[in-house]
Amino acid sequence: MKKYLFVVVVAILAAPGLALGQSGPNGGGQQGNGQQFQEHKAKILQRLSTRLAKIQQRQSCVQAANNRQALFACMPQGQGQTP
């Protein structure tokens, strides 16, 4: 379970960073003005905070689970369904 959580956290933290390196109207994000950069940064941070809150909520649910059924109820649809 810890391995799964680690992979999820790494994926969440890596995904927005990959998006910053893509080419765009500002030549790959390197030439944008400060205001646009700050807005983009704020949006990324908000998405990260939202994802992190969901992961922490799921972690609390898993920690509180007393049986297999309760554990599976913590997982999003389609995950954690294998015995």
Residue 63 belongs to a domain: yes
Contact 11, 55 (CB under 8 A): no
Residue 82 belongs to a domain: no
Residue 68 belongs to a domain: yes
The reported pLDDT for the residue numbered 83 is 45
Residue 25 belongs to a domain: no
Residue 67 belongs to a domain: yes
Contact 72, 81 (CB under 8 A): yes
Domain limits at 60?
36-75
pLDDT (tens digit, 9 = 90+) per residue, 22-79?
545 554 555 558 899 999 999 999 999 999 999 999 999 999 999 999 999 998 876 5
Count of domains for the chain: 1
Residue 81 belongs to a domain: no
Residue 71 belongs to a domain: yes
- Reply yes or no on whether the pLDDT at 7 is more than 90: no
Residue where the block lists tokens 């944008």: 32
